[in-house]
């Protein structure tokens, strides 16, 4: 368990650093708000509409497919560390696993789900 002490410290420091840095300018910076300063900075353009817009559904599908392939990658890790002990059998099993998902990938590619338009 003591292996994880550095990891825990890292977690604490990362969270603390992030929280402090995000708020430091708010705490110690001078505040002289004007109307222009408070408006949304949009590279010099006049902002149109609100920031809280709904985003395109197309990207949602990419995120959804990402989860499935994320799981696939997670399954590769324990396979990779035990692969040398089990041998060709494990290789075949993993190829079967990957082949099935590859079929799905080909299918959605042909169906045009990953096309932006």
Partner 1 sequence: MFDLIFYIFAFITVVGAAVTAIHRNIVYAAFALLFTFVGVAGLYVMANADFLAVTQMMVYVGGILILLIFGVMLTNRIQSANIVVNAGPKPVVAILSLGLLAILCAAFFGPSATHSEKSKDGKTASVSSWSNYTQQPWAATQWNKDANERILSEKFGAPSEVKTKEGSSGTSVEIGKLLLSDYLLPFEIVSIVLLVALIGATMIARKEPTLEEEALSESLS
Partner 2 sequence: MTSLANYLIISAILFSIGAAGVLFRRNAIIIFMCIELMLNAVNLTLIAFSQFLGEQSGQVLVFFVMTVAAAEAAVGLAIVIAIYRNKETVHIDDLNLLKG
Give contact residues for partner 1 (rule: CB under 8 A).
1, 3-4, 7-8, 11, 50, 52, 54-55, 57, 59-61, 63-68, 70-75, 77-83, 85-86, 89-90, 93, 96-98, 100-101, 103-105, 107-108, 111, 113, 117
Query: How far, in Å, CA of 5 to CA of 14, rounded?
Result: 14
Angle among Cα 16, 18, 23 to the nearest 5 degrees reads 95
CA distance 12 to 9: 5
Q: Which of 21, 67, 73, 99 binds partner 2 (CB under 8 A)?
A: 67
CA–CA distance, 112 with 117 (Å, rounded to integer): 9
Provide the binding-site residues for partner 2, judged by CB under 8 A: 57, 60, 64-65, 67-68, 70-71, 74-75
């Amino acid at each position: 368990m003591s292996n994880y002490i550095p990891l825990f410290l890292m977690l604490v420091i990362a969270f603390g650093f992030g929280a402090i840095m995000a708020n430091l300018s708010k705490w110690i910076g001078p505040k002289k708000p004007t109307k222009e300063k408070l408006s949304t900075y949009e590279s010099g353009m006049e902002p149109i509409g609100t920031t809280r817009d709904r985003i395109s559904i197309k990207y949602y599908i990419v995120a959804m497919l990402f989860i499935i392939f994320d799981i696939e990658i997670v399954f590769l890790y324990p396979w990779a560390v035990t692969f040398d002990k089990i041998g060709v059998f494990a290789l075949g099993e993993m190829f079967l696993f990957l082949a099935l998902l590859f079929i799905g990938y080909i299918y959605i590619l042909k169906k045009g789900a990953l096309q932006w338009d």
